[in-house]
A and B are shown apart, each in its own frame.
Chain A
Amino acid sequence: MNTEIGFFKRLNDWVNGDEDRIFPSKNEYDSPELPEPPVAKSSLPNKDILFLSSYQVIAITVVLGLVFVLLYTVYKLPLFGVADNPAVNEVVERYVEKGLEETGAVNVVAGMILDYRAFDTLGESSVLLLAITSVMMLLLRDEKNIDPEEDLITEHEAVFEDQSRDVILQNVTTILLPAIMLYGIYVILNGHLSPGGGFSGGAILGAGLILYATGFGHNRVRKFFSMKTFRALTTTALLSYGLLKSYSFLLGANHLPTHIPLGIPGAIFSSGLIFVLDICVGLIVACTMYGFYAVFSRGEI
């Protein structure tokens, strides 16, 4: 719409239906003679800059407003650290007082996330699966994701790694790795007895693997931890997790016993499913962490 046309001119045109300056006439499809579609939005940059300047102002005001509202809310909220805030109620009491006999977990948090509110945790673990899947979807090398120079660099790195390994790193790794792995396994297995659990232990295991990979190169790792093993481990762990939980969900909902012994609280083989689930979660997390590292660093596992 050209702007220099005055209002009355337009009105006049409109009344006796001349050139449709008022009516936004859109060519619903361009004529076939046109060789190419009009390359869209040539005027985009300056429009975009305008947009940005206003955008920043709006964003800042919005965020400041949000912060002030939240501060005011915090001021209205119950005080920090006092015992009589509404969050401390029968739910907490039961978690703490009955948790031991109902879940068999000494670590109430583990009991809560893996038994009382296990559905959330199931979703959470599948978030991990989704994350690694989508990262692989993006970064695995294929014909749409090829960057020759990057590949060249990786090749050189590989050659470099093979010739001159960092001796210090390797020795430190050889000393530390067993301890790290053991510690990770310990944290996983003690998930229901002490702080930690599948997630933290798995993270430790993954860190160990990453350290090993940095020290000795991916090919060494790939000897015992290839794509196939990765798939098998994650999928089986997650599947067993899902199946076990589905089993207990469905039975529990129908008020049927699961016939899973809770064992003596405090013993290592206790607290029923939680023990197994911790192991599954640990495996998933470890594989995912290492998977992230490997895929990011060279687009393959």
Chain B
Amino acid sequence: MLPFYYNIPAISILLCMIAGMIMPLLPNGKVALRVAMGVSAGVALLSAILMINIIPVNEYFTYMMGHFPAPWGNELSAGPLEAMIAFIFGLVMFLSLVGGSHTIFYDILPGKQKMYFTMMSMLLASLLAMTYTNDIFTGYVFIEISTIAACAIVVARDTPKTIGSTIRYLTLSLLGSGLFLIGVVLLYCITGHLLMPNIQEQVLRLVSTGLYTVPLTVVAGLLFSGVAIKSALFPFGGWLPMAHGGATTASSAVLSGLVLKGYIVMLVKIFYRVFTIDVIRDLNVTNIMFACGLAGMIYGSIEAFREEHIKRMLAHSSMAQIGYVFMGLGLDVNLGVAAAFLQIMVHAFVKPLLFLCAGRLSEVYDHEKSSYRLRGSAHKDWIAGIGFTLGAMSMVGIPLLGGFTVKYYLVTSAMMNPAKLWPALITLMISAVMNALYYIPEVIAIWTRCELCTPNPVDSNRGFDWIAAPILSAATLFFGLNGYSLIQLIQRGLALL
């Protein structure tokens, strides 16, 4: 009989899946929303318990899904890092649902709301599974689940634009999962295992004997490019802005904040637990990551600068932020990976904050999304205005906020690798300037009073969706103030992977 908290990963995944399955039986969308919110909050709670239990003792454990240990049965594995990520996933999903609830019922037809929440729960389940899995084939299955669910929550709004962007999104995602699958298959062919620890020992044996080096490199490349397509790394990111910009607010928040990150977390886990990071660095995959990351930072910033539709602008900026993550991973130093994870966490809070606030602001002038139509909206909805301002400031990299901490640690880790110092530094600074150039005018715009514009009457039964913005802003501040201790935690977690 294991202590309870060992069961938490499995329980939280199964909880989300079962919640997704019972959605069709629920009477209406409101109830479904409550269930989905309850589930994600529950996941956050459970993961918090898990964190409390394993972070102090720095424990890493594997968990059999069924009666059979590795290498025969499926397994999950969890440590401090996974626990933190899962906690953030649950919490942010909850907050996005809370903050987007009003818009969901505006954007999505009543007949489809239950299906929408099915998708949301399944999406959370797949994200958790990708975080926790110890078995690459399970990883593949849940990648597919998250693909379908993500496309579905984009298309749920059901406008021609969303359908079109979804088909673009789906096509590229299929390419990505195809590459990932063939990578998994090749890995199975040369190692004969599907569970990470067993593959790892085989891989180490192969590396030591020099057998199958070419297939190994190809596998690493395939897995990386599959994930890169799905997480919108620079050359493959064309689908992202339309998809994220067109979806309903909660979907955009979840997609930009969590889904893109889920794949990266799994990729890092594969790199650490399957190949071991040193092998990956010998195979030069990190250099590709680094280059693509830098390119993505510049490209995303420029595109965002040229965009005037506010949500698409945020989506472009997500591309740039993903570039930060891959740059951190590509730096070849462990602190860089930790900084990348810090960026994942910070961005998982900041981007939903921006999306939710942008959604609320756009509701002030009946769902206008182009920036100039948002003028003065912050005065009508000052909570969202302040939230958006904070988020933008964090993106610009004002001290005391999360964004600055991330930049600080990225550069600190870049200092450890002189070969990549200057490109990293210069690109970071350029993209910081670009961030300022498209976020600050936006902020000024929403705070500039506009006499000609006629705001909608504020409807009274909005419920509690205003609560999300303050919590997310608080989280941003928290990351800004406690960066140091968090980096320590993350590094301990990485060491255990």
A85, B189: Cβ atoms closer than 8 Å: yes
Do the beta carbons of A29 and B445 come within 8 Å of each other? yes
Which A92-146 residues have a C-beta within 8 angstroms of B?
94-95, 102, 115-120, 122-124, 126-127, 129-131, 133-134, 136-138, 140, 142-145
Q: Given A29-B371, A32-B453, A252-B64, decide whether A86 and B191 contact each other with a Cβ distance below 8 A.
A: yes
Does A87 belong to the interface (CB within 8 Å)?
Answer: yes
Closest 5 CB pairs of A and B: A28-B441, A29-B372, A252-B67, A119-B74, A123-B141
Q: Is the CB of B202 within 8 A of A24?
A: no
Contact of B148 with A130 in the complex, beta carbons under 8 Å: yes
Enumerate chain A interface residues (CB-CB to B < 8 A).
24, 26, 28-32, 34, 37, 40, 69-70, 72-73, 76-78, 85-91, 94-95, 102, 115-120, 122-124, 126-127, 129-131, 133-134, 136-138, 140, 142-145, 231, 234-235, 238-239, 242-243, 246, 248-250, 252-256, 258
Whether, in the assembled complex, B156 has its beta carbon less than 8 Å from a beta carbon of chain A, the answer is: yes
Starting from the known contacts A116-B68, A144-B158, A250-B7, 19 additional A-B residue pairs (CB-CB under 8 Å) come to A26-B305, A29-B445, A37-B373, A77-B215, A86-B191, A86-B202, A117-B74, A130-B122, A137-B115, A142-B109, A231-B24, A235-B22, A235-B25, A238-B21, A242-B18, A242-B21, A252-B64, A252-B65, A253-B64
B interface residue numbers (CB < 8 A to A)? 1-2, 6-7, 10-11, 14, 17-18, 20-22, 24-25, 63-68, 71-74, 109, 111-112, 115-116, 118-119, 122, 125-126, 129, 135, 137-138, 141-142, 144-145, 148-149, 151-152, 155-156, 158-159, 163, 182, 186, 188-194, 202, 212, 214-215, 218, 305-306, 308-309, 370-375, 437-438, 441-442, 444-445, 448, 450, 452-453
A153 to chain B, nearest CB (A): 21
Give min CB distance, B235 to chain A, whole Å: 9
Q: In the complex, are the beta carbons of B145 and A127 less than 8 A apart?
A: yes
Asked whether B10 lies within 8 Å of A122 as measured between CB atoms, the reply is: no
- A contact face: mostly helix, strand, loop, or mixed: helix
Contacting pair A253 B20 (CB below 8 A) = no
Bound Cα distance from A122 to B141, whole angstroms: 10
* B452 neighbours in A (Cβ, 8 Å): 32
Q: What chain A residues lie within 8 Å of B74 (beta carbons)? A: 116-120
Q: Contact between B115 and A242 (Cβ–Cβ < 8 Å)?
A: no
Are B450 and A32 in contact, with the CB atoms below 8 A? Answer: yes
- Cβ–Cβ < 8 Å partners of B18 in chain A: 239, 242-243, 246
Q: Which residue of chain B lies nearest to A133 when distances are taken between CB atoms in the complex?
A: B115
Residue contacts A-B, CB under 8 angstroms, 5 given = A28-B441, A137-B155, A242-B14, A253-B7, A253-B63
Bound Cα distance A72, B374 (Å)? 56
Name the distance in Å between B65's Cβ and chain A's nearest Cβ: 4
CB contact under 8 A between A134 and B141, given known A28-B441, A126-B20, A253-B2:
no
Question: Contact between A246 and B72 (Cβ–Cβ < 8 Å)?
Answer: no
Cβ A37 vs Cβ B25 within 8 A: no
Residues A134 and B148 in contact, CB atoms below 8 Å apart: yes
Residues of A within 8 A of B444 (CB): 28
CA distance A78 to B189 in the complex (A): 8
Q: Nearest Cβ in chain B — how far from A45, in angstroms? A: 16
